[in-house]
Amino acid sequence: MATTLFSSSGGVYRGNLHGHSTHSDGRNSPAEVVELYRAAGYDFTCLSEHLWSNPRFSAPTIIDATTFDSPDFVTIISAELHCRGKAHDRDGLWHVVANGLPSDFPMAGDTETGPEMVRRAVAAGAYVTIAHPEWCCLTDEEARGLAVASAHGVEVYNHSSAIESAPGGGIATLDLLLHDGHWLHLTATDDSHHIPDDAFGGWVMVAADRLNDAGIVAALKDGNFCASSGPDFTELTIDGTTLHVGTSPVERVILAADKHQAQMVTGEDLTMVRFDLASLDSAFFRVVAMDRQGRSAWSNPCWMEAIG
């Protein structure tokens, strides 16, 4: 029987998990952020404002933008959480994105650590990811601490960081933690501050039962989504030991596994490729599809133990 890695009885919804408005250090008002993402074809967005005490870039409270929701577009109460103790950051602050927080989730205190903050957000019901690990020079020790604290995933593409300062990736951090045995997801986000200049470049496609905050957050926690900066996955199915990968037109599809194993198929306007999983001696794999513009789509890591 075939196993589908990315499916829903409801729909597939495009959204941005990381973005800002005038509530913290963004240029656009919350209403403008919502309208611009809706007009760009998104189904949901998150105003993940900096939750901290420095008025230069943050606010001490979380914004509830659900008043701007409509039948075809929702917002998810979110924040970019900060606390002290991070190395190699100009403010000495940790950066963690939490989607699906309660609106009264309190700002970190002066003695709270990064891992403690992650545990508190997870306990509050949020989907928690490690934000822009390249941009904030996350150390291996720091990444491991957040993974042990039950962070759900890693931003492997942060559009704002990529186009404004170059270090917008996170694959090295993700793969380190996967090799350590942490079952983590991966996300692509905008981290938008000045829409449209730094927007619509990184998103997730979430297969959820319904378009509301609870449905989206539940699907995120289940890993029932893919990430993209351009291409789309149309199929990710395992039939026996064959992985079937359907995509929008791309020029290469890579099956990346542990211990630097990889398989690659290249061609012009590829839309369907197959990989033999029996040839892998691997604990996990993930799929990357790249188009001719160099943009990528990423599947979540898939663990052999989970698929038998």
Q: Which two tokens stand for residue 101?
A: 């927080």
What domains are there in the chain, each with its CATH number? Answer: 9-228 (3.20.20.140), 233-307 (2.60.40.10)
Provide φ and ψ at 66, rounded to 5°.
-65, -15
Q: What share of the chain is helix, strand, coil (3-state, %, to 5)?
A: 20, 35, 45
Q: Are 289 and 233 a contacting pair, CB within 8 Å? A: yes
How many angstroms separate the first and last alpha carbons of the chain? 12
Q: What is the pLDDT along the chain (308 residues), one digit of tens a residue?
A: 567 887 667 799 999 999 999 999 999 999 999 999 999 999 999 999 999 999 999 999 999 999 999 999 999 999 999 999 999 998 999 999 999 999 999 999 999 999 999 999 999 999 999 999 999 999 999 999 999 999 999 999 999 999 999 999 999 999 999 999 999 999 999 999 999 999 999 999 999 999 999 999 999 999 999 999 999 999 999 999 999 999 999 999 999 999 899 999 999 999 999 999 998 999 999 999 999 999 999 999 999 998 87
Q: What per-residue confidence (pLDDT) applies to 3?
A: 77
State residue 307's pLDDT score.
83
Q: Which amino acid is at 232?
A: D
C-alpha span between 168 and 165 (Å, rounded): 8
Length of the chain: 308
Tell me what pLDDT residue 4 has.
Answer: 83
Closest CA to 183 of 308, 306, 3: 306
- For residue 36, CA distances in Å to 29, 192, 203, 256, 259 come to 10, 11, 14, 35, 42
SS3 268: strand
Identity of the amino acid at 13: Y
Beta strand residue intervals within the chain, DSSP E: 3-4, 11-16, 44-45, 50-51, 74-75, 78-81, 96-99, 127-130, 153-158, 185-189, 203-208, 225-228, 233-239, 242-257, 262-276, 284-290, 296-298, 302-303
Contact 150, 221 (CB under 8 A): no
Look up residue 75 and give its two tokens: 């917002």
* Contact between residue 162 and residue 135 where contact means Cβ atoms under 8 Å apart: no
